Amino acid sequence: MSVSTYWRIDPAADPSRSEPGARRGGLFRDVRPATINRYDYYAQIAQAAAQTAFDGLFIAYRPDCDDSRILAAAIARETPRLALIPEFPSSSGSAVYAAKQAVSFRRATHERLGWAIAPSGDDRDLARTEEFLAVARGVHSQHPFSFAGDHFEVQGGGFEAPLNRVRAPQVFLQGDSEESLALSARAADVHLFAAAPIDSLRHAVEALDAASLSAGRTVGFGLIQPILAREDDDEARRDAERLGLGPDALVGTYDAVADRLAQLAALGIGHLVLTAPSSLEEAYRTGQHVLPRLRARTDPARAAA
């Protein structure tokens, strides 16, 4: 089974890295020019993911940090191959304008943009998300398009050529509640599960698969998985304890982590969003040592290419 792998950029992680205002004097003189800033650090992470054959970048939504969609646009030309999946809430603005931005972005990047709708933690917001997607997809595929809902209203809208010549972005939804899974069955292209024990994930995948088939749809399955892999298991455990990884993180040798990821793929997980502290360094390490082992287990033809 082929698995798409994404490295997660978290704008809130390592907050002082490459921020000019956070630089301090010390034993070594900082020779970086003042023009180097946080976005250069994001670009380095993106380039690390590209150089080590990740398929894309998942850019987390953090309300008090750099905007995920701006960040995706800023690094798009740094990585001309990677898919870019910014996460954002459906309450962030007009669904029509969001759809126009997405179409323009996809025209500029050969359709590499996807959407991840950030969960709010409140199932009452799911109705807004469903309306947001209905409007965004509607103005993309129909002209004229009208819609009247509780959260959005459109009269005689819709895109004409050339905006309607590109496909709408792939939509990633999240959440573990029954209501969230029901929405994904109706509206998601991919549902991203949170890291969990493998038996729990198996039951969740089977339930969502049945629900989506009942709705006459096919939904892909993904997972946001913290990892930390090292050559030696003891080193991995020590670093995980030092960095404070949670109990759902995959920690171990390169082979052990690749084995566990392959087991997840065997459940039907086709999209793996991998994340770790020290994002730049771990992107290189994971891409160089874990991904080749994972692909040898799940996609031998690609691993040999």
Examine residue 201 and state whether it is found in any structural domain, yes or no: yes
Q: Tens digit of pLDDT for each residue in 40-91?
A: 999 999 999 999 999 999 999 999 999 999 999 999 999 999 999 999 999 9
Q: What angle do CA 20, 26, 31 make, to 5 degrees?
A: 50
107 within some domain = no
* Residue whose C-alpha is closest to residue 12's, from 48, 63, 85, 46: 63
Residue 149 in domain: no
In this structure, of 61-65, 121-125, 180-184, the range with the lowest mean pLDDT score is 121-125
Q: Count of domains in the chain? A: 1
Instruction: Give tens-digit pLDDT for 247-293.
Output: 999 999 999 999 999 999 999 999 999 999 989 999 999 999 999 99
Residue 24 has pLDDT above 60, yes or no: no
pLDDT at residue 208 in the model: 97
- 119 within domain boundaries: no
Q: Which H helix or E strand runs over 194?
A: strand 190-194
Is 104 inside any structural domain? Answer: no
Evaluate whether residue 17 is within a structural domain. Answer: yes
Q: Rounded CA gap, 53 and 284, in Å? A: 10
- The Cα 290–Cα 77 span in angstroms is 26
Pairing mode of beta strands 220-230, 190-194: parallel
For residue 94, being part of any structural domain is answered with: no
Return d(Cα 5, Cα 158) in angstroms, integer: 33
Burial of residue 273 (number of CB atoms within 10 Å: 0-12, 13-18, 19+): buried
Domain of 253: which CATH number? Answer: 3.20.20.30
**Domain-embedded: residue 98:** no
User: Does 17 have pLDDT greater than 90?
Assistant: no
3-state secondary structure of 93: coil
Task: Give me the domain span that covers residue 297.
Answer: 4-88+175-304
Q: Please, are residues 82 and 110 in contact by the beta-carbon 8 Å criterion?
A: no
